[in-house]
Amino acid sequence: MKHKGKATSFDIAHYAGVSQSTVSRALRNSPLVNEETRRKVHEMAAKLNYKVDKNASNLRTQQSSTLALLLFEDPTTDESQINPFFLSMLGSITRACSKEGYDLLVSFQSSSQDWRADYEDSHRADGIILLGYGDYLDYQSRLQQLLDQDTKFVCWGAKVDGREDLSVSCDNYGGGQLAAKYLIEHKRTDCAFIGDASEHSPEFFARYEGFKNTFEQHNITLSERKIANAISTEDSGYHATKSLIANNISFNALFAASDLIAIGAIRALQEAGILVPNDVRVVGFDNIPAASYVSPSLTTIEQNTTLAGQMLVSNLLNLIKGEKVECTLLPPNLIVRNT
Amino acid sequence: MKHKGKATSFDIAHYAGVSQSTVSRALRNSPLVNEETRRKVHEMAAKLNYKVDKNASNLRTQQSSTLALLLFEDPTTDESQINPFFLSMLGSITRACSKEGYDLLVSFQSSSQDWRADYEDSHRADGIILLGYGDYLDYQSRLQQLLDQDTKFVCWGAKVDGREDLSVSCDNYGGGQLAAKYLIEHKRTDCAFIGDASEHSPEFFARYEGFKNTFEQHNITLSERKIANAISTEDSGYHATKSLIANNISFNALFAASDLIAIGAIRALQEAGILVPNDVRVVGFDNIPAASYVSPSLTTIEQNTTLAGQMLVSNLLNLIKGEKVECTLLPPNLIVRNT
DNA sequence: CCACATTCTGACACCGGTGTCATAATGTGG
DNA sequence: CCACATTATGACACCGGTGTCAGAATGTGG
């Protein structure tokens, strides 16, 4: 019964005394095969440790039961550190995939110019999930190209021109509102914003807009001078905040476009002898695991990554099935801690 | 030139006026095809946006240019949080794979009983990387089964009985020595250890052994009473440390089996009014990103995840190629910060 | 001009499954 | 006992590439 190489369905057929066609049907539990025969085939397959060759099966059926995840990184981020928020998304996407019986191909894309998205063309995946804070404006032409090729994909965060159904994102605008309301309730109306408040980072921009507009509804105008640019790293948040301090710009609250930025900002404040939260209250965004570890622990706007992963996967699968998909906006959630 | 469905090599052949065989050869840059023909074929392939069907190609060549990563989690860990150390490994493995021209299938395995390892059997991957602190003793029988089936795989951390070449790990024993030497230098010899100092967690155990033995070489005996069990989560570290404090066990230094444990331990110490590092010095293990964010920032033993990922991938590829592979022990590195 | 090597190309079997069609075996009703 | 439906099975084409082999076209030397 020992065999060189892996067993094929012909081997099972031979030992079970049936035809290869019957083996194939029996293993997929087709109702066409006799109960007794099915049992015999399954038994033999188990004995020979037979596993269906996915390449052959995929080739014939023209689908792969696999999704591809493209993770775009800020090109400035260093090799070993990956944004923890996306890692958390990665975890939930992986789980959502396996729950749906799909495998997941993971690929990190560092260059924004020529990323690989040929997973579907090459029949390696049935669809693609795009993930990243990235400067998506650069990508629109590539996204359009994917659309033209009829590639199935969904995006986190970014909008695809004219195709809202391809996006899943947090209600960033609403998150900004939550942060503003929280600070207003605590009478902190002299606010700084650390992040990129331009349309180059659509997500950060929406957070800022929701934040600013809520203040305006309370007749408070945020000073443009109190905005400091930063990408989503601890280091960048640190330096941006330092430069505000160096320029003698005062504020009693700080809204950071992401938790990493907030953590860096707090470090800068502490170094300058500014007390958090007594002198300056800080609100972050994301609720990454570290937000609860740092001290003081970070007050932040949570994005539900578990739900986000599920929505990305289920929307993509519906898209593949050709069903209508709605634009998906996930509700953010204020987590009050000690800043 | 528009076409329903995706283009195949036959389409290219048709439009380029050559045979399908020639197309296949031309696209793989076989030296057998004429320069002029090759150019024509490449041009037409680009125009039709043709991509080789990986299923067909893999089926024929019997290899997939894909590796599978199985990530084992502590079953107690909650859904959304994944050990940041492993996430960091995941990042470096992904990068190492793509550098070698391989794709990576990622799969989280929560049950230690019946994990899926049929990626190779089903020809979906050429080899498997196993990653986890997991209680590997439970897995030995499964690992043995993989060996029997001649499945190509490498493990992080765990030993495979009689096959040291299949493991890549940090020199955990040496890491424990580093931690001990550091504390001895700072005259902190009354040490607690938080983690699992049993053979159920071979990595933690080795860290403890290196730590303990170094103290013994200096004629200092660590008290067994000062060991508290914990798995690698912040919460577990917090509770373990709290119970030490509650039992009035004194110590002036603490070695945590992982950074997450250390971060939890510091929280427990701070809550009890114990100053870090003045009253108790703390040394962690891993050097996860958060180690530098927390305050006070964490002194820890670094594991080089970039190198680890590269070694796992390159050892696995060598194994697949049938080459000899050496057991790989990576040097740990003391990172002195503020604890 | 023929023998022979070299370069290039096409025909074809093959990888290991899946789906369709034909057919054998059995049951059912008139 | 025959017409017909039902059930179970095998034969075979097919998915889209890759590798082998045969042979055409051209070049080279004697």
Higher pLDDT pick, A201 / B58: B58
Residue A215 has pLDDT above 70, yes or no: yes
Q: Which residue of B has its CA nearest to A54?
A: B122
Out of B88, B121, B293, the one facing A294 most closely (by C-beta) is B293
Q: Which of residues 100-139 of A touch strand C (CB under 7 A)?
A: none
Helix runs in B51-83, H state only: 54-61
Q: Are B290 and A289 a contacting pair, CB within 8 Å?
A: yes
Q: What are the chain A neighbours of B267 within 8 Å (beta carbons)? A: 293, 295
Q: Are B66 and B84 a contacting pair, CB within 8 Å?
A: no
Q: Which of residues 291-310 of B touch strand C (CB under 7 A)?
A: none
Is there a contact between B122 and A53 if contact means CB atoms under 8 Å apart? Answer: yes
pLDDT at B157: 82
Across all strands, nucleotide nearest B59 (CA–C1'):
C15
pLDDT at B14: 94
Handedness of CA A115, A117, A121, A122 (dihedral sign): positive
List, as ranges, residues 166-185 from A with C-beta within 8 Å of B.
none
Spell out, as residue ranges, where chain B has pLDDT lower than 50: 1-2
Torsion of CA B176, B182, B186, B188, to 10 degrees: 0
B64 phi, psi to nearest 5 deg: -115, -10
Q: What are the chain B neighbours of A90 within 8 Å (beta carbons)? A: 87, 90, 106
Is A108 part of the contact surface with chain B (CB cutoff 8 Å)?
yes
pLDDT at B4: 59
**Closest-CA distance of chain A to residue B57, Å:** 9
Query: Integer distance in angstroms from CA B63 to C1' C23?
Result: 39
Residue A85 has pLDDT above 80, yes or no: yes
Instruction: Tell the burial category of B75 from Cβ atoms under 10 Å away from its Cβ (0-12, 13-18, 19+).
Output: exposed
pLDDT at B146: 87
- Residues 6 or more apart in contact with residue A305 via CB below 8 angstroms: A85, A88, A89, A91, A92, B80
Q: Are A230 and A236 a contacting pair, CB within 8 Å?
A: yes
Structure tokens given for A175:
């998150």
Q: What are the chain A neighbours of B81 within 8 Å (beta carbons)? A: 88, 289
Is B121 part of the contact surface with chain A (CB cutoff 8 Å)?
yes
Structure tokens given for B208:
């403890």
Q: Which residue of A has its CA nearest to B103?
A: A105
Q: In degrees, to the nearest 5, what angle opens at C-alpha B68 toward C-alphas B64 and B70?
A: 165
Superfamily of domain B9-52: lambda repressor-like DNA-binding domains (1.10.260.40)
Handedness of CA A215, A220, A221, A227 (dihedral sign): negative
Q: End-to-end alpha-carbon separation of chain A, Å?
A: 68
Is there a contact between B290 and A289 if contact means CB atoms under 8 Å apart? Answer: yes
Structure tokens given for A313:
């996967």
Out of B49, B84, B294, the one facing A295 most closely (by C-beta) is B294
Torsion of CA B136, B141, B145, B147, to 10 degrees: 60
Is B28 part of the contact surface with chain A (CB cutoff 8 Å)?
no
Indicate if B172-302 has the same CATH topology as B66-170+305-332.
yes
Is A91 part of the contact surface with chain B (CB cutoff 8 Å)?
yes
Boundaries of every domain in chain B: 9-52, 66-170+305-332, 172-302
Q: Are B67 and B216 a contacting pair, CB within 8 Å?
A: no
Confidence of residue A2 (pLDDT cuts 50, 70, 90): very low
Query: Integer distance in angstroms from CA A18 to C1' D8?
Result: 11
Residue of B122, B152, B297 to mutate, testing the A interface (most A Cβ within 10 Å of its Cβ): B122
The upper half-sphere exposure of residue A104, i.e. CA atoms within 13 Å in the direction of its Cβ, equals 31
- Residues 6 or more apart in contact with residue B128 via CB below 8 angstroms: B67, B68, B69, B70, B117, B119, B120, B146, B151, B152, B153, B154, B316
- Residues 6 or more apart in contact with residue B267 via CB below 8 angstroms: A293, A295, B234, B238
d(CA A317, CA A128): 10
Q: Position of tokens 């493995």? A: B93
**Closest-CA distance of chain A to residue B277, Å:** 15
Is A92 part of the contact surface with chain B (CB cutoff 8 Å)?
yes
A194 phi, psi to nearest 5 deg: -115, 120
Please tell me whether the peptide bond between B277 and the residue prior to it is cis, using omega within 30 degrees of 0.
Answer: yes
Out of B6, B64, B92, the one facing A80 most closely (by C-beta) is B92
- What does the pLDDT look like over B211-247, one tens digit per residue? 999 999 999 998 989 999 998 889 999 999 999 999 9
d(CA A30, CA A48): 21
- CB A336 under 7 Å to nucleic chain C: no
CA-based nearest residue to B120, from B154, B165, B88: B154
pLDDT at A108: 84
Query: Integer distance in angstroms from CA A21 to C1' C29?
Result: 33
Class of domain B66-170+305-332: alpha beta
Q: Are B257 and B231 a contacting pair, CB within 8 Å?
A: no
pLDDT at A1: 40
Other CB atoms closer than 10 Å to residue B34's CB: what's the count? 11
* Contacts of range B248-252, beta carbons closer than 8 Å, 24 or more positions apart: B249/B192, B249/B225, B250/B190, B251/B190, B251/B191, B251/B192, B251/B226, B251/B280, B252/B188, B252/B189, B252/B190, B252/B191, B252/B279, B252/B280, B252/B281
Is there a contact between A105 and B104 if contact means CB atoms under 8 Å apart? Answer: yes
Helix (H) or strand (E) holding B167: strand B167-170
Superfamily of domain B172-302: Response regulator (3.40.50.2300)
H, E, C per residue of chain A: CCCCCCCCHHHHHHHHCCCHHHHHHHHCCCCCCCHHHHHHHHHHHHHCCCCCCHHHHHHHHCCCCEEEEEEECCCCCCCCCCCHHHHHHHHHHHHHHHHCCCEEEEEEECCCCCCCCCCCCCCCCCEEEEECCCCHHHHHHHHHHHHHCCCCEEEECCCCCCCHHHEEEECHHHHHHHHHHHHHHCCCCCEEEECCCCCCCHHHHHHHHHHHHHHHHCCCCCCHHHEECCCCCHHHHHHHHHHHHHCCCCCCEEEECCHHHHHHHHHHHHHCCCCCCCCCEEEEEECCCHHHHCCCCCEEEECCHHHHHHHHHHHHHHHHHCCCCCCEEECCEEECCCC
d(CA B186, CA A285): 39
Out of B59, B88, B98, the one facing A80 most closely (by C-beta) is B88
Q: What is the mean pLDDT of residues A70-75?
A: 76
- CB A32 under 7 Å to nucleic chain D: yes
Q: What are the chain B neighbours of A98 within 8 Å (beta carbons)? A: 107-108
Is there a contact between B84 and A289 if contact means CB atoms under 8 Å apart? Answer: yes
Please, which positions of strand C sit below 7 A from a protein CB? 7-12, 14-20
Is A99 part of the contact surface with chain B (CB cutoff 8 Å)?
no
d(CA A170, CA B337): 36
Q: In degrees, to the nearest 5, what angle opens at C-alpha A154 toward C-alphas A152 and A157?
A: 160
CA-based nearest residue to B76, from B265, B298, B244, B237: B237
Q: What are the chain A neighbours of B109 within 8 Å (beta carbons)? A: none
Name the fold adopted by A66-170+305-331: Rossmann fold (3.40.50)
Is B3 part of the contact surface with chain A (CB cutoff 8 Å)?
no
Beta carbon pairs, A and B, within 8 Å: 143
Confidence of residue A55 (pLDDT cuts 50, 70, 90): very high
**Closest-CA distance of chain B to residue A218, Å:** 35
